[in-house]
Structure 1
Amino acid sequence: MTHRINFAKTAPKAFKALIGFDAAARAGLDPALVELVQIRTAQLNRCAYCLHIHTSDARKAGESEQRLHMIAVWHEAANFFSEPELAALALTDAVTLISAGGVPDDVYARAAGQFGEEELAQLLALIFTSNTWNRIAITTAKVPGTDERA
């Protein structure tokens, strides 16, 4: 199939609501952490479009190539990340792969130990929106490397 809908144009109210949710989710979170979570979500969901956007954005924000390469194997490369980042990555994995066993208590407790209640809620909202964006991009066959974000 070569033509799929442009979600932003065909469902503008839903798209606008998601933009608002995404902006609210990011509010107050460290921008570097936001990119790490979005990159990891895109890796897990195999969303090349979003992975391209977020690795490019992370580089522009000064993220190192070494850390970008280590996100995919963060379990084995824990020394590249802070404890809050590791907790956020573990939570991202659990929420994104929720059908593989839910969100284990130890993963949730680790994140809750690193983030205050409000920040943890923001982090969860970010993971939710990132997964939604991935599903939109994959379903509508967004092409990685294009400048269009909608």
Structure 2
Amino acid sequence: MTNDATPHSHGPRMHFHKLAPEVQKAMYGLEMAARKGLDPTLIELVKIRASQLNHCAFCIDMHIKDARKAGMTEERIYLLNAWEEAAGYYTEKEQAAIALTEAVTVLTDGFVPDAVYDRAAAQFEEQELAQLIALITTINAWNRIGVTTRMTPGLYEA
């Protein structure tokens, strides 16, 4: 909904992946590189949370389906939007990753606060932290493509 409560059209604006196949291929390569060494559940938590913040319906749908397929519980999926209130459902490491995801995605005040970065650095080895930052960056790029081109949610099958 826009500010004047008028719904906007959610049909796709373009088929980005067909029109920019080289970019699609490069993004997929970046995606595969960013995932290396990271826990599959953590990957989906990061992707869902960034997609929620970016309002990317296509990616929310996709990553919730992937999370379910990977065995994530419904409670963990449903409560992710309020993870700080439901901290008991997420490990310390997952909480640090989600906090970093939020900070990188939103960039409040134009930077990632030291406390958020330090929390993540305390939970992840340096190489794994670099991978996590790459993963967060990648899902944010995917979200921006999805939101801008209005990719249609519901069509993805895990």
| Matching residue's letter, 1:145 | G
Q: 1:11 Cα deviation (Å)?
A: 1.2
Contact preservation (8 Å) 2:12, 2:151: no
Distance 1:72 1:139, change over 3 A: same
- TM-score normalised over the length of structure 1: 0.94
Mapped partners of 1:3, 1:59: distance in 2: 26
Pairing 1:111–2:117 present: no
Mapped partners of 2:157, 2:88: distance in 1: 35
Distance 1:11 1:108, change over 3 A: same
Q: What does residue 24 of structure 1 align with?
A: 33
Mapped partners of 1:58, 1:32: distance in 2: 7
Q: 1:100 Cα deviation (Å)?
A: 4.1
Q: 1:82 Cα deviation (Å)?
A: 0.3
- Paired residues, number: 149
Pairing 1:77–2:86 present: yes
Q: 1:136 Cα deviation (Å)?
A: 0.6
Mapped partners of 1:49, 1:71: distance in 2: 17
Structure 2 portions without partners, runs of 5+? 1-8
Q: Output one character per residue of 1:42-71: Cα deviation in whole Å (capped at 9) or x when no partner.
A: 110111110000001101111000111110
Pairing 1:41–2:50 present: yes
Pairing 1:120–2:129 present: yes
Displacement over 6 Å in runs of 4+: none
Deviates more, 1:14-23 or 1:99-108: 99-108
Deviates more, 1:99-108 or 1:16-25: 99-108
Counting aligned pairs with the same residue, the percent is: 54
| Matching residue's letter, 1:130 | I
| Matching residue's letter, 2:140 | N
Structure 1 portions without partners, runs of 5+? none
- TM-score normalised over the length of structure 2: 0.89
RMSD of aligned Cα (Å):
1.6
Deviates more, 1:55-64 or 1:139-148: 139-148
The counterpart of 1:88, out of the listed 93, 97, 101, is 97
Mapped partners of 1:39, 1:83: distance in 2: 18
The counterpart of 2:155, out of the listed 143, 146, 150, is 146
